[in-house]
Amino acid sequence: MARPRQPLLSRDRITGAALRIVDEEGLQALSTRRLAAVLGVTGPSLYNHFRTMDTLVDALVDQVVGQVDLSMFGRLDWRTALRDWARSYRAALAGHPNLVPALTRRAAHRPHSLRLADAVFGGLVAAGWPRAHATHIGASMRYFITGSALGSFAAGFPTDAELYAGTYPHLDQAHLLAQHQRSVDEGAFETGLEALLEGLEAQYARVVGTAENPRSGAAQ
């Protein structure tokens, strides 16, 4: 009797299964043994595609970052480009919050991450920002975007109204936040984003010069 064939492995199949594990159980749950069990293969067979768990996590991060739209840089003014990019970046990360902590490691090993950094930095420099300022802006935006994707502010408040009564008088409506999680979290992101952009526009006028159009930098 012929032995059943082992399911064929591919990088896409491995990363798909790995991302599901991370999304459902957290990054700490991802291991060679766990992934092999999900895929119905032996652990060593995974090494033909990913030599280490770090390289697999790199691939997962790069796959998600690769979903971020970068087409606005060089096409729109720098402020509009940053706004549209930030929204696209957050949307990509918001679907995989458990993977966000891994973004802080090994960026040089991820082509899409480097392509993103190149597009943002290049777009800002082309708009007239000094290189040092462009670096600081890119880092600040990344801190803000990744932080907003780590978890839900609204979902962090217990829904028991009695918990707040008397003790936390200013939080008398906090038990309702979880019911409006999406609108609260998106509203918080948009508020912070606009505050950042308004501050950068004022800084642009000081650094680059008031003679410049503060929203210049779009491709002609």
Environment class of residue 18 by beta-carbon count within 10 Å: exposed (0-12), middle (13-18) or buried (19+)? buried
pLDDT at residue 206, rounded to an integer: 93
One digit per residue, the tens of pLDDT, for the chain of length 220 reads 444 455 578 999 999 999 999 999 999 999 999 999 999 998 889 999 999 999 999 999 999 999 999 999 999 999 999 999 999 999 999 989 999 999 877 665 689 999 999 999 999 999 999 999 999 999 999 999 999 998 888 889 999 999 998 899 999 999 999 999 889 999 999 999 999 999 999 999 999 974 344 444 443 2
DSSP state of 8: P
pTM of the model: 0.85
Residue 87 tokens read as: 């929204």
End-to-end CA distance of the chain: give it in Å, rounded.
70
Q: To 5 degrees, how large is the angle CA 114–CA 91–CA 100?
A: 60
* Cβ density class 31-63: b for 16+ within 10 Å, e for less: ebeebbeebebeeeebeebbeeeeebbbbbbbb
pLDDT at residue 108, rounded to an integer: 59
Contact present, 193 and 88 (Cβ < 8 Å): no
DSSP state of 10: -
* Helix ranges (DSSP H) in 77-151: 78-94, 111-126, 131-149
pLDDT at residue 209, rounded to an integer: 75
Helix axes 78-94, 53-65, angle to 10 degrees: 130
Torsion sign across C-alpha atoms 88, 24, 63, 28? positive
Strand partners, 73: 76
Strand partners, 76: 73
